[in-house]
């Protein structure tokens, strides 16, 4: 008798998506090189001069201080890379504020209004 059951893969829920009442849309962006490993749920801003995405930092002055997107998957941009990296981001949807990743001392509350302006809404889910 052949196999009746086989595990093909597994998934560990990360609690990033917090609802489906608003459409979840994605798009492609190019990440600025040499940011190291950016994790799923990282909040990104866009550098005005280059159009490249990088981890949002409220104290920046290059345009990336304004939150615009949430990274859909882990992406390694390298530490000594010679090229920028393509990636997929969420551009709209409802997300768990507690699962978002920021640089420095930034918090979801610091960027909630900016994210709402572009169609990203935040909730605080209980972690499981």
User: Does residue 101 register a pLDDT over 60?
Assistant: yes
115 lies in a domain? yes
Query: Worst-scoring range by mean pLDDT, 4-18, 27-41, 73-87, 95-109?
Result: 4-18
6 lies in a domain? no
Q: Where does the pLDDT of residue 13 fall: very low under 50, low under 70, confident under 90, or very high at 90 and above?
A: confident
98 lies in a domain? yes
Residue 70 forms beta bridges with which residues?
43, 90
The CATH number that applies at residue 53 is 2.40.300.10
Is 49:32 a contact under the CB 8 Å cutoff? Answer: no
Q: Where does the pLDDT of residue 77 fall: very low under 50, low under 70, confident under 90, or very high at 90 and above?
A: very high
> How many distinct structural domains can be found in the chain?
1
14 lies in a domain? no
Residue from 20, 123, 24, 104 nearest 70 by CA: 24
User: Does residue 59 register a pLDDT over 70?
Assistant: yes
Give the Å distances, CA to CA, from 102 to 5, 24, 48, 118: 41, 21, 19, 18
Domain span at 80: 19-123
pLDDT for 128 equals: 57
pLDDT for 62 equals: 96
């Amino acid at each position: 008798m052949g196999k009746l059951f086989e595990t093909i893969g597994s998934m560990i829920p990360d609690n990033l998506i917090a609802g489906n009442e608003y459409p979840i849309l994605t798009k492609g962006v190019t990440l600025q090189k040499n940011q190291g490993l950016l994790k799923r749920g990282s909040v990104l801003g866009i550098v005005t001069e280059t159009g490249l995405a990088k981890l949002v930092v409220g104290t920046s002055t290059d345009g990336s201080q304004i939150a615009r997107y949430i990274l859909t998957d882990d992406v390694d941009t390298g530490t000594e890379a010679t090229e920028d990296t393509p990636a997929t981001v969420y551009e709209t949807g409802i997300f768990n504020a507690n699962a978002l990743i920021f640089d420095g001392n930034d918090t979801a509350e610091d960027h909630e209004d900016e994210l709402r302006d572009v169609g990203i809404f935040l909730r605080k889910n209980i972690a499981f």
